Chains A and B, each alone.
Chain A
Amino acid sequence: NAGVTQTPKFQVLKTGQSMTLQCAQDMNHNSMYWYRQDPGMGLRLIYYSASEGTTDKGEVPNGYNVSRLNKREFSLRLESAAPSQTSVYFCASSVRQGYQETQYFGPGTRLLVL
């Protein structure tokens, strides 16, 4: 049971390049999330998918798109990378028990945009 996995671990892009960050979970969770982490700002939600086939914007969605490919996989795409998107990106998945929910995080992808 690998939990939440993310690829790649590190990436360097030039301004204007595109890339897709991959996330997969093997815990049969319905909900998945993408966050970015910047120094002194904690984690901020980019997009989430409450269930397979649905996606919704979070706090900072501009410049990103997502795809919930199936129940296991949730990808994040940067169509035209900008230096402001230099960050550490975390994927999470969650299990719900009534109103309660616990999110489990992947190891992160460190992205540098030059």
Chain B
Amino acid sequence: AQSVTQLGSHVSVSEGALVLLRCNYSSSVPPYLFWYVQYPNQGLQLLLKYTTGATLVKGINGFEAEFKKSETSFHLTKPSAHMSDAAEYFCAVLSRSGSARQLTFGSGTQLTVLP
């Protein structure tokens, strides 16, 4: 069964600093990996996804993530944090069983951006 671990339930960075949100997964098959962002009182918005091909994936709002099979990781980064990046971020892995597809989510990381 697939699982996702997000290290650090809360991360604080200063505006302009590097953002690094950690995600490790376990999967018995080649994984499809996702990062979603949730702003307060809103639904989840897809930031980026890895399916196959290039291991460095670029998403919206300047975020990117790198798939590292050897480390079973899919960490999310942004070179320079902006106040508007304050939100909760969820890493997820897609599991496949026959025709069924299910997303398994990590517990989330709350990002605070300090002025």
Contacts and interface: CB of A to CB of B under 8 A. Distances in A.
Given A58-B102, A102-B49, A90 B107 contact: no
Interface of B: 4, 9, 32, 34, 36, 41-46, 49, 51, 90, 94, 96, 99-103, 105-108
Interface in A16-38: 31, 33
B108 A42 contact: yes
A41 B5 CA distance: 11
Interface string A90-110: 101010100111111111100
A40 B9 contact: yes
B101 A101 contact: yes
Top-5 shortest CB links A-B: A42-B105, A105-B44, A105-B43, A107-B43, A43-B105
22 contacts: A4-B43, A31-B101, A33-B102, A33-B103, A40-B9, A40-B108, A42-B4, A43-B90, A43-B105, A44-B105, A45-B102, A48-B100, A50-B100, A58-B102, A90-B43, A90-B44, A92-B103, A94-B101, A101-B101, A102-B46, A106-B43, A107-B43
Interface residues of A, number: 27
Contacts of B107: 40-42
A103 B45 CA distance: 9
Contacts of B32: 99-101
